[in-house]
Structure 1
Amino acid sequence: MTEGYIYILFNPAYRANQYKIGMTTRTPEERALEVSSATGVPQSFEVLFSKRVADCQWAERLVHQRLAEYRSGSDREFFQVSLSIAIDILNDVTAEVGLLSEKTAVQEPSYRMTDPVTSGDIDLVPRKPSLGPTRKRQGIPEAPTCFEDHIAYTDALRQPLLREVRDRILAIDGRLHAGETVTPRQRIAYKLTGGTNFIEIKVQRSAILVRLPETSVVDRAGKVRKIPDTHGWGRLKDEIRISNASDVEYALPFIEAACRTELKNFE
Structure 2
Amino acid sequence: MNTTTEPGYVYILTNPSFREDWVKIGKSARPVDIRSKELDNTAVPLPFEIYATIKTVKFNEVEKLVHKTIDRLTDLRIRQNREFFNVPPQVALDIFKDIAQTIDDAVITEYRDNRPIQEPGNDCPPTNNKRVVKRERFRFSLVGIPIGEYITFIPTGIQVKVASDNSIEYDGRIYKLSPFVGTFMPEDKRNTSGAYQGAKYFTYKGKVLEELRREIEQDDEELEVQSEPATE
TMscore range, shorter length: 0.3 to 0.5
- The TM-score, its normalising length taken from structure 2, stands at 0.44
- The TM-score, its normalising length taken from structure 1, stands at 0.38
